[in-house]
Chains A and B, each alone.
Chain A
Amino acid sequence: MVFDIAFFVLAVIIVGAALAVVILKDVFRAALSLVMLFFTIAGIYITLHADFLAVVQVLVYVGAISILIIVAIMLTHDARQGSTSGKLRIPAIIVGLLLLGMLVFTVVTTKWQLNNTPPLEPTTAAIGMKLFGEGGFLLPVEISAILLLAAVLGAIVLIREK
């Protein structure tokens, strides 16, 4: 019951923050709204009993990624003026609303697979077993390791002096 109320409060904040990210002219304020968005999503994870994900969300998104975005804004002069409104604003709104309508319709009308067992807590050990244990997602974890290597190589190449 508490979680139900919390969910709707968080949902309203999330939608508001997301809209602010898109609408606000000032890039720095948009970035701060994004931080707000990341933070409230962590709240949603808590209402879903996903404690580990909530902590990771705060550590990675609120902690690391938002700092990265803000530093990037500080270092780029042009970005501070904010984005100009393009000619495609109206079509983009229409397409966005259409997509929203379709997705809402999908979510509301579908009979989703529901599980009646109470959620697992704490989830950390279970996630670890799923990632590295028998019958789990070991391969995708290893592939992401190579992916990080490729990203590091890319960073080296792209920041070189001309």
Chain B
Amino acid sequence: MILKELQLLTPELSLLVFALLVIMLDLFIKQKKVLVVVSIAGILVSAGFTLSLWGIHATDILYAMLSVDQYALLFKLIFLVAAGLVILASQDYISKFAQFQSEYYALVLISALGMMLMAAAQDLIAVYVSLELSSISLYVLASFLKDQKSTEAGLKYLLLGAVSSAVLLYGMALVFGLTGHTCMPCIADSLKGMPISNIMQSPALLMGLILIVAGFGFKIASVPFQMWVPDVYEGAPTPVTAYLSVASKAAGFAVILRVLFVVFGATAWLSQDWGLLIAVLSAITMMVGNVVALSQSNIKRMFGYSSIAQAGYLMVGLAAVGMAAGSDALGRSGLLFFLMSYTFTNLGAFIAIIAISNKLNSDQIEDYTGMSKRAPLLAIALTLCLVSLTGLPPTAGLIAKIYIFNGAVNHGLLWLVIIAVINSVISAFYYFRIVKVMWMGAPASEEKVPSTWALRVALSLCCLFVLLLGVLPAGFMGIAQAAVKIFTGS
């Protein structure tokens, strides 16, 4: 029996083995390029195992700690893709800490492992421990450069992250005290059996819900738990910023959707209560992210606020899931589609930024003037990603927004969608400011911007998928729908 369960755990186990291998090989191998190859091989092997489990009937393993289902598998693929692209894109950056490459790769792999476990975790304790696994690796990665800004970023991330973990644990403890369980379906059963018909009748449930949302809100960077984002994004090494903005956020959404849907989706009224809570937070998050992004002059800070705004759009989908109270899957699959689209788009944008800012040694938007002449391909790729982030055709961003907004309108959140559309228009101002700067002005120097093959491969993959998701969304939507089936049945 245990062997059968370990077989379902192969994606995680293989990734761990390769992470250890990278550390070990570093001791014996002089040619450090091998480490990149091993890391990428680990990701490919793990992705291969994940795909081999695709289509599996949902199974609880290791005493119901993890649930191996389509939903978790899709998220595992997203994390692996993000980690792989980030490792490829780090090649232009790695010279800044050449001696510590193996630790860097190993930490990226281990944090991906933590996220994979998060997406599959079916028990609050497993959720918490795997969340810490990914977070601790990310704290270190954020301060990897050891210069003043990077250290500040790491320290801020660590301190605020620790507070948010404490808040999350307090929420979990309240829920445990109320129901006597840590396994999510057991909590849901226990809540169903309780003689309450309104969340106000159970202050412990209310506080538990609020504290858990606050704890995860830090991870997905929702207002009012977003204060760490601009500083950490600015100070962290750019590949790590890309990783944080994509994988860490996706992991946050993976776990918050599962917890809210399985635990707090126990009854219809409870589901609509958190739906409304998320809807209000979502409106504020979009507003704050977009309005503050308008006045940023540092491109990494701007993308920090932009990622807050994007979290706001994602929360529109989350709110729709809550309002639907388990009745249809559009909100959920829309959320997954948006996450796929956001992963490729934001990674693409950051990969272009890595190449450009490496040459410029600056993250100021004004220094991007005339970039279309110095690096035409990078400029085209960055423009495509910015178009997708705004949500214009023919890119993934448009389709993703349509799905999410459609789901929200179907469940009485028209007001929220109107706010979201207004916000998309606001966002066009700052996204297109970069496009304008790149294509209009005259460059400060004629020097070309160099980039490695690895970075080019990663960037072209991102652009390819941004276009594919935009032009042929049906196939990817099918995948997203298959991934949320597990929830529809329960």
Given contacts A150-B110, A153-B140, A160-B146, contact A139 B65 (CB under 8 A): yes
**Complex Cα spacing A79 to B149, Å:** 20
**Complex Cα spacing A154 to B140, Å:** 5
**Complex Cα spacing A137 to B129, Å:** 11
Taking a contact as CB atoms under 8 Å apart, the answer to whether B133 and A158 are in contact is no
Given contacts A106-B203, A137-B65, A139-B66, contact A158 B143 (CB under 8 A): yes
B467 interface residue, CB < 8 Å from A? no
Given contacts A147-B132, A150-B136, contact A113 B178 (CB under 8 A): yes
**Complex Cα spacing A156 to B200, Å:** 49
Contacts of B282 in A (CB 8 A): none
**Complex Cα spacing A107 to B203, Å:** 8
Given contacts A134-B63, A137-B65, contact A156 B103 (CB under 8 A): yes
Q: Closest approach, in angstroms, between the C-beta of A81 and any C-beta of chain B?
A: 19
Enumerate B30-88 residues with CB–CB distance to A below 8 Å.
62-63, 65-66
Q: Closest approach, in angstroms, between the C-beta of A39 and any C-beta of chain B?
A: 21
Taking a contact as CB atoms under 8 Å apart, the answer to whether A105 and B146 are in contact is no
The one of B107, B123, B129 in contact with A154, judged by C-beta atoms closer than 8 angstroms, is B107
Identity of the chain B residue whose Cβ is nearest the Cβ of A137 in the assembled complex: B125
Q: Closest approach, in angstroms, between the C-beta of B221 and any C-beta of chain A?
A: 21
A136 interface residue, CB < 8 Å from B? yes
Taking a contact as CB atoms under 8 Å apart, the answer to whether B137 and A150 are in contact is yes
A102 interface residue, CB < 8 Å from B? yes
Taking a contact as CB atoms under 8 Å apart, the answer to whether A157 and B103 are in contact is yes
Enumerate A116-149 residues with CB–CB distance to B below 8 Å.
134-140, 143-144, 146-147, 149
Taking a contact as CB atoms under 8 Å apart, the answer to whether A153 and B107 are in contact is yes
Given contacts A150-B107, A160-B146, contact A106 B207 (CB under 8 A): yes
The one of A113, A140, A146, A147 in contact with B177, judged by C-beta atoms closer than 8 angstroms, is A113
**Complex Cα spacing A136 to B183, Å:** 11
Given contacts A138-B62, A140-B126, A150-B110, contact A113 B140 (CB under 8 A): no
Given contacts A106-B204, A139-B66, A140-B65, contact A150 B179 (CB under 8 A): no
B117 interface residue, CB < 8 Å from A? yes
Enumerate A77-119 residues with CB–CB distance to B below 8 Å.
102-103, 105-107, 109-110, 112-113
Which residues of A line the B interface, CB within 8 A? Answer: 102-103, 105-107, 109-110, 112-113, 134-140, 143-144, 146-147, 149-151, 153-154, 156-158, 160, 162
| Contacts A140-B129, A143-B126, A146-B133 known; 9 new A-B pairs at CB < 8 A | A106-B206, A106-B207, A110-B203, A110-B204, A113-B179, A146-B113, A147-B129, A151-B136, A158-B154
